[in-house]
Amino acid sequence: MKKFLRLLYLAPMALFFTACDNGFEEMNVNPNASTAVVPGFLFTRTQLATVSNNFTGAAYLTIGGSMQHFATYKEVPAAGDKYFNYSYSTASWGLYGGTDMTTQGAVIDIEQVIASVNTLPADVNKLSVARIWKAYMYHRLTDLYGDVPYSEAGKALTEKNYTPKYDEQSAIYADMLKELEQAIAAFDPAQATFGTSDLIYGGDITKWKKFGYSLMLRLGMRLTQVDAALAKTWVQKAIAGGVIISDEDIATIAYVDGSVTASRNFISSGLMSTDYVTPGGDNVEGGKLAKTLIDYLKTTKDPRLNVISVVWVKPTATSAYVADTATALQKGMPNAAFNSLPADFDSYSEPNPNTILKYNAPLLVFTAAETHLLLAEAAVRGWYTATSAEAEYKSAVTSGMKHWALFGSPGIISDARINAYIAANPYKTSGSVEEQFEQIGTQKWVALFLEDEYEIFSNWRRTGYPKLTPTNYPGNLTGGKIPTRFVVPDSEESYNKDNFLESRTRQGGTNTLSSVVWWDK
């Protein structure tokens, strides 16, 4: 009887809620929100999110510390300095999605862009650029984490697939290279582009072809330790296609200074907010430029030292701090040497506020310096004979110094200083193959400083250069080994357990900073 009375009570209530629902769907639509994909807008956001995602945690604190560009005396931010904290490395997974959709979820965005431009022939250039950028995005993800969701990723909106499989890195590389080749071949000069929605080249398909082939060259060279024959095939295919060899073709994104923080260069913003807020005294994360980097630049008399590095000094006891670029003053802080504020903290070098820390500094996405170094390596391997390894190395050094002029007049390095550096540090033409590889790899460690720490990390894992001395801070998580892979977030074991566990087993059963990716031999 009670159940019957309850039903009588609930029946009119159900009718009431049904009636009230009429029109609610229309009322709940945000009139200011777009209900359709706007490819240009999403592509812009994808570009920005890809390059800036987790810069502070990944590129600065983890890679920058482990590659001994930076050092810190503190323990919490010491994923790279002391191999003490892995949480910073997990955040790069945010490219798959997260709560902050201004910097995360680029995987979903690029899938939506591709889906919206893959049917009409008139959109072929937009599709090609999106496919190339997708390869750029995923090569960063897979190089950081190894096997990752790829073929089924970004399909939650379209296919309701919330548990994508983890593809093997070898398969991901094969598909990325295929995508690059097909996308480049499909460009049509008669069709429209993304135009100003493309922050790198403004829709210039000739330059996008060079970017695509340069990325192909980078990925092809990544295969040298696992399949040299296949590496040679893709390296030579990229070179034949035409890569970035002129500074006029380098891939850059312009930023502006102003009240809109999202328009500022994320590198300068990240460094300013996490460490270099005010001159002199302690820094938020306890960071300074590392001894390994500063010592190398001073030993080789590298003019880039005075462009990237300063020591804050007080001319008098009562005056304000002044940024001094004098070579003699520059001093790097040793990695993992301290666990409290050093008494001489002010005497260590920091990033130059007039170049690196400028909010309107450009981002160099892919430079001619890197391409020339890849060509130099190809020449050493006998895969490229158009010029010599020495000539390519000199071009790389010149380009790597010239591009600092893009940061303003304090970044200009004269031809005389460049030539003097090359004369003092000649290419080891008569050296062994390994000695030449070491010189090329070490130069890449300098030339790509800060702008592409990810590539420095990957190249070091592939080649072993530069030769870095690991630290062994008490309680570190790697047994005194420089980290070799990022850690997939623990949340994957909850949300995508079966696929995550299968991937972990396939990659040796570990998910730590000491795990390795497929091409790292």
What is the CATH classification number for the domain harbouring 454?
1.20.120.840
Residue 358 inside a domain? The answer is no
Q: Which whole number is the average pLDDT over 382-408? A: 98
Final residue belonging to a domain, choices 423, 445, 468 = 468
> Does residue 416 share a domain with residue 335?
no
Per-residue CA distances from 105 to 36, 85, 306, 465 (Å)? 18, 24, 38, 33
CB 513 within 8 A of CB 86: yes
Residue 488 inside a domain? The answer is no
Specify the pLDDT at position 6.
42
Give the DSSP letter of residue 111: H
How far is it, in rounded angstroms, from Cα 162 to Cα 153? Answer: 9
Q: Among 23-27, 40-44, 84-88, which is the least confidently predicted range?
A: 23-27
Specify the pLDDT at position 105.
86
Q: Three-class SS of residue 30?
A: coil
Q: Residue 456's domain spans which residues?
A: 368-468
Share the mean pLDDT of the chain. Answer: 92
> Does residue 373 share a domain with residue 456?
yes
Specify the pLDDT at position 36.
75
Residue 176 inside a domain? The answer is no
> Does residue 376 share a domain with residue 295?
no
Q: Is the pLDDT of residue 155 over 50?
A: yes
Q: At what angle do helices 228-241 and 368-380 cross, to 10 degrees?
A: 130
Q: Among 25-34, 73-82, 130-139, which is the least confidently predicted range?
A: 25-34
CA angle 114, 46, 515 (to 5 degrees): 100
Final residue belonging to a domain, choices 351, 377, 393 = 351
Phi, psi of 366 (to 5 degrees): -150, 125
Q: Is the pLDDT of residue 74 over 90?
A: yes
How far is it, in rounded angstroms, from Cα 260 to Cα 175? Answer: 38
Strands ordered across the beta sheet of 350-351: 322-324, 309-313, 350-351
Phi-psi region of 336 (alpha: psi -120 to 50; beta: other; left: phi over 0): left
Specify the pLDDT at position 19.
47
- β-bridge mates for residue 251, sequence order: 366
Q: Which whole number is the average pLDDT over 384-406? A: 98
pLDDT (tens digit, 9 = 90+) per residue, 105-115?
Answer: 899 999 999 99
Phi, psi of 322 (to 5 degrees): -125, 140
pLDDT band for 240, please (50, 70, 90 cuts): very high
pLDDT band for 33, please (50, 70, 90 cuts): low
Specify the pLDDT at position 14.
44
> Does residue 415 share a domain with residue 326?
no
pLDDT band for 156, please (50, 70, 90 cuts): confident
Per-residue CA distances from 37 to 34, 43, 108, 118 (Å)? 7, 10, 12, 13
Residue 15 inside a domain? The answer is no
Q: How many domains does the chain have?
A: 2
Specify the pLDDT at position 383.
98
Specify the pLDDT at position 1.
38
How far is it, in rounded angstroms, from Cα 63 to Cα 61? Answer: 6
pLDDT (tens digit, 9 = 90+) per residue, 345-359?
Answer: 999 999 999 999 999
Q: At what angle do helices 124-145 and 39-52 cross, to 10 degrees?
A: 20
Scanning 265-356, the segments in alpha helix (DSSP H) are: 266-274, 291-299, 305-308
pLDDT band for 101, please (50, 70, 90 cuts): very low
Per-residue CA distances from 492 to 94, 150, 219, 387 (Å)? 12, 15, 27, 48
Specify the pLDDT at position 261.
85
Specify the pLDDT at position 13.
42
> Does residue 315 share a domain with residue 378?
no
Q: Is the pLDDT of residue 308 over 70?
A: yes
Q: Is the pLDDT of residue 282 over 80?
A: yes
Residue 307 inside a domain? The answer is yes
Give the DSSP letter of residue 93: G
Closest to 297 measured CA to CA, from 391, 193, 404: 404
How many residues in total does the chain contain?
521
> Does residue 395 share a domain with residue 454?
yes
How far is it, in rounded angstroms, from Cα 147 to Cα 167? Answer: 6
Q: Which whole number is the average pLDDT over 200-212? A: 98
Residue 145 inside a domain? The answer is no
Q: Is the pLDDT of residue 143 over 70?
A: yes
Q: Is the pLDDT of residue 120 over 90?
A: yes
Q: State both tokens at 324.
A: 């001094």
Specify the pLDDT at position 317.
85
Final residue belonging to a domain, choices 468, 487, 509 = 468
pTM, two decimal places:
0.92
Q: Which whole number is the average pLDDT over 292-303? A: 98
Residue 326 inside a domain? The answer is yes
> Does residue 378 share a domain with residue 436?
yes
Specify the pLDDT at position 138.
98
pLDDT band for 32, please (50, 70, 90 cuts): low
Residue 391 inside a domain? The answer is yes
